[in-house]
């Protein structure tokens, strides 16, 4: 495990203190959990974007007809 230092505005710091007290968790645990969740979410999105770019680089695109059908299923008329 390693230590990371972060600066928080006064309001966020106060909310963190209240949350720590209310949940019987340490501030450190709450911050580590928040960062873990954020990193997991962002990593998934970046990986999905990179996969889309990889497929586009390989020329794997939906046809105009496929796009129009997909929009129609959602009730949206593609132009």
pLDDT per residue as tens digits for the range 6-34 = 999 999 999 999 999 999 999 999 999 99
For the segment 31-67, what is each residue's pLDDT rounded down to a tens digit? 999 999 999 999 999 999 999 999 999 999 888 899 8
Output the pTM of the full model: 0.63
Q: Using CA atoms, how far apart are residues 5 and 46, in angstroms rounded to an integer? A: 25
Tokens 């997909």 found at: 70
Please provide the size of the chain in residues. 79
Q: What tokens does 23 get?
A: 């949940």
Residues 71 and 47: their CA atoms lie apart, in Å, by 25
């Amino acid at each position: 495990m390693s230590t990371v230092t972060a600066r928080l505005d006064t309001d966020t710091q106060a909310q963190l203190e209240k949350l720590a007290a209310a949940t019987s968790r340490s501030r450190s645990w709450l911050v580590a959990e928040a960062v873990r969740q954020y990193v997991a979410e962002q990593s998934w999105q970046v990986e999905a974007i990179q996969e889309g770019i990889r497929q586009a680089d390989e020329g794997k695109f939906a046809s105009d007809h496929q796009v129009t059908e997909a929009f129609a299923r959602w009730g949206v008329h593609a132009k």
